[in-house]
Structure 1
Amino acid sequence: MRSVLLLRGINVGGHGKLPMAELRALLEGLGAREVQTYIQSGNVVLAQAPKAEEIAGAIEAAHGFRPECLVIAAEEFRAALEADTFQEARAEPKLLHYFFCARQPAADMLAVEQALDNGERAELAGRVLYFHAPNGMGKSKFPAKVERLLGTPATARNFSTVAKLAEMLDAP
């Protein structure tokens, strides 16, 4: 079965350095097959994915830090793409983000709504919070608050990355 693996906080600002070739080799050493990475920020499509805790532990043992790892079954990942209620925002893919959550969020959506600013929108569906930041993610204060608001670790990817990973899942 194919899955998507998302790692949070690697290769960002000089922290959590993990070359993708080393990540692929580590995953293959844990029994994963057909391992493909996309860009340098911890996006992987693979078959026979190990458990998230096993991956995090292996990275910690080999590289000295323990990233949050989310393994998402192909069907769940595709469903997240289909459930996106801000599809009109896809015209500017770097302004539409998906926060994939480690667990089902226990979010107070009123608090989430109150944390939005400057025309931002957010909607929760399952373990994904869809976030449209019309002025860009870098100018938003919302991402710094999202895990506290959701009550679970989360990692964000923009629509371009999500679409590319879905395309990789569908490739033979």
Structure 2
Amino acid sequence: MTHVFLVRAVNVGGTAKLPMAELRALAAELGATEVQTYIASGNLIATPPGDPLAFARDLEDQVEARFGFHREVIVRDSAALRAARDAHPFVIADPAFSYLVPLTSPPADSTAAAEVPSGADQWALIGDNLHVRFANGAGRAELDLTRLLRALGVAGTARNLRTVDALLGLLG
């Protein structure tokens, strides 16, 4: 079954350079088939050779070994990604302002996150996904997503709903 593997925080801000051609080649070397990427921000679509979570851990290990940095790889199948997209609790005036942040796991305790200022931005935790709507776009955010994730105690990687919709289209 084809899954999306989301590599956290690559090719942003001049750090953690991971060329998508090399990510595709790495996935194929690890036995994945139907390998493709979408834009240069760590979106890998592939059919893993076995357990998707084990494949994600193998990708993490190989990225660190070959590129010298550790980045979490979060995996979702089509049904899980669709369910997360459908659960987005905010009005979507512009899909570029609304984000899905798949998390490595559901947070054990989210009480500290309530203390993170968000201004006009909104966020909601639903299972192992964080949903965010930036009132004025991510570039002018009042909510510090990094601080929020730290308060939740889990890693996650943000994709705007335009990207999520494209990934769903690629997953079929």
- TM-score (ref. length: structure 1): 0.90
> 2:13 is matched with which residue?
13
1:126 equivalent in alignment to 2:127: yes
- Once residues 65 and 161 of structure 2 are traced to their aligned partners in structure 1, the CA distance between those partners, rounded to angstroms, is 32
Report how many residues are paired.
167
Q: What is the percent sequence identity of the aligned residues?
A: 38
Deviations 1:38-89 (A, max 9, x none): 1101011111245221101111122111211111122211111111112x31
1:69-108 residue pairs with structure 2 within 5 A? Answer: 69-86=73-90, 88-89=91-92, 91-108=93-110
Report which stretch shifted further, 98-107 or 151-160. Answer: 98-107
Deviations 1:67-126 (A, max 9, x none): 11111122211111111112x31x3111101111001112425x4344243321111111
Query: Which of 49, 55, 61 matches 1:51?
Result: 55
The unaligned stretches of length 5 or more in structure 2 are none
- Once residues 106 and 118 of structure 1 are traced to their aligned partners in structure 2, the CA distance between those partners, rounded to angstroms, is 25
Aligned residues of 1:118 and 1:135 also touching (Cα < 8 A): no
Report which stretch shifted further, 71-80 or 133-142. Answer: 133-142
- Once residues 26 and 78 of structure 1 are traced to their aligned partners in structure 2, the CA distance between those partners, rounded to angstroms, is 26
Q: Aligned letter for 1:64?
A: G
1:37 equivalent in alignment to 2:20: no
- Once residues 133 and 11 of structure 1 are traced to their aligned partners in structure 2, the CA distance between those partners, rounded to angstroms, is 22
Q: Aligned letter for 1:135?
A: N
- Once residues 144 and 63 of structure 1 are traced to their aligned partners in structure 2, the CA distance between those partners, rounded to angstroms, is 23
The unaligned stretches of length 5 or more in structure 1 are none
SS in 1 for 2:74: strand
Aligned residues of 1:3 and 1:73 also touching (Cα < 8 A): yes
Deviations 1:18-51 (A, max 9, x none): 1111100000000111111011010111112452
- TM-score (ref. length: structure 2): 0.90
- Once residues 58 and 112 of structure 1 are traced to their aligned partners in structure 2, the CA distance between those partners, rounded to angstroms, is 32
Query: Which of 141, 145, 148 matches 2:147?
Result: 145
> By how many angstroms is 1:138 displaced?
2.3
- Once residues 13 and 154 of structure 1 are traced to their aligned partners in structure 2, the CA distance between those partners, rounded to angstroms, is 17
CA RMSD of aligned residues (A): 1.6
- Once residues 124 and 107 of structure 1 are traced to their aligned partners in structure 2, the CA distance between those partners, rounded to angstroms, is 11
SS in 2 for 1:97: strand
SS in 2 for 1:155: coil
> 2:167 is matched with which residue?
165
- Once residues 154 and 164 of structure 2 are traced to their aligned partners in structure 1, the CA distance between those partners, rounded to angstroms, is 20
